Every structure is written in structure tokens, then in C-alpha cells.
């Protein structure tokens, strides 16, 4: 039974998966758009939404919590100074997932994740 088990494994061990998601969310915050496989984008979407919600708060405690998750200080600064205030009036739904065509090499379904 998988009661209260959430998240996707993505064919990786825990440390690799967490490091990959941390890097991807930092890239999403810095560039405000990311193209990856559909499964990775779906796993990243909830992760990014929770961080943007923290970015709306702006307190030192929330900033330190974000720094514990995102290793990039510039991404955290952008999250709290630009992205958080931009979504101050919005109650969730900060990202948009758009399906793209299949990848040429292995026909993996691709998707684009961007900030709304």
C-alpha cells in the first residue's frame, strides 16, 4: 500500500533526485522558463509552487528555508525580490505546464514549464 506516499521517483535515487530538482527549480527561477521531460516537469511543478509561496512571505525565516532548498543565492534573491511580490495577489497556480513534441533522440515526451 502506498498510503501518504507522494512524489515521483523518476528512476533516480533520493539524493540524485533531490539535487536534480534543486538545480531545476533554481534554473526555473533564474530564467522563468524550463524545457524538460514531461515527468520531470510535473514533479518540479509542485516543488516550485511551494517555493514561490514562500517567496511571497518575505520574512527572514522563509528566506532561510528557501536557501536550505535552493543552493543558488542569486535565485533566492530573485525569488524574494521580484517573483514573490509579482504573485502577491495570486492564490496559487504560479506555473504553466505546456506539452511539446517528442524529443528527437529517444521520443521522450517533452514539456515546457514557465512562470505565469
Q: What pTM does this model have?
A: 0.90
Residues in contact with 23: Cβ distance below 8 Å, sequence separation at least 6, in sequence order: 71
Say if CB 50 and CB 69 are below 8 A apart. no
Q: What is the DSSP letter of 34?
A: E
The tens digit of pLDDT for each residue in 27-84 reads 999 999 999 999 999 999 999 999 999 999 989 999 999 999 998 999 999 999 999 9
CATH code of the region 14-115 = 3.90.1030.10
**How many angstroms separate the CA atoms of 75 and 46, rounded?**
17
Amino acid at each position: 500500500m502506498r498510503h501518504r506516499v507522494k512524489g515521483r521517483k523518476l528512476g533516480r535515487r533520493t539524493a540524485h533526485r533531490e539535487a536534480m530538482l534543486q538545480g531545476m527549480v533554481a534554473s526555473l527561477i533564474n530564467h522563468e522558463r524550463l524545457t524538460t521531460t514531461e515527468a520531470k516537469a510535473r514533479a518540479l511543478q509542485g516543488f516550485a509552487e511551494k517555493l514561490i509561496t514562500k517567496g511571497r512571505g518575505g520574512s527572514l525565516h522563509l528566506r532561510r528555508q528557501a536557501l536550505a532548498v535552493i543552493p543558488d543565492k542569486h535565485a533566492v534573491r530573485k525569488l524574494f525580490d521580484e517573483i514573490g511580490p509579482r504573485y502577491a495577489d495570486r492564490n496559487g497556480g504560479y506555473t504553466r505546464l505546456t506539452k511539446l513534441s517528442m524529443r528527437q533522440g529517444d521520443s521522450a515526451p517533452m514539456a515546457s514549464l514557465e512562470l505565469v
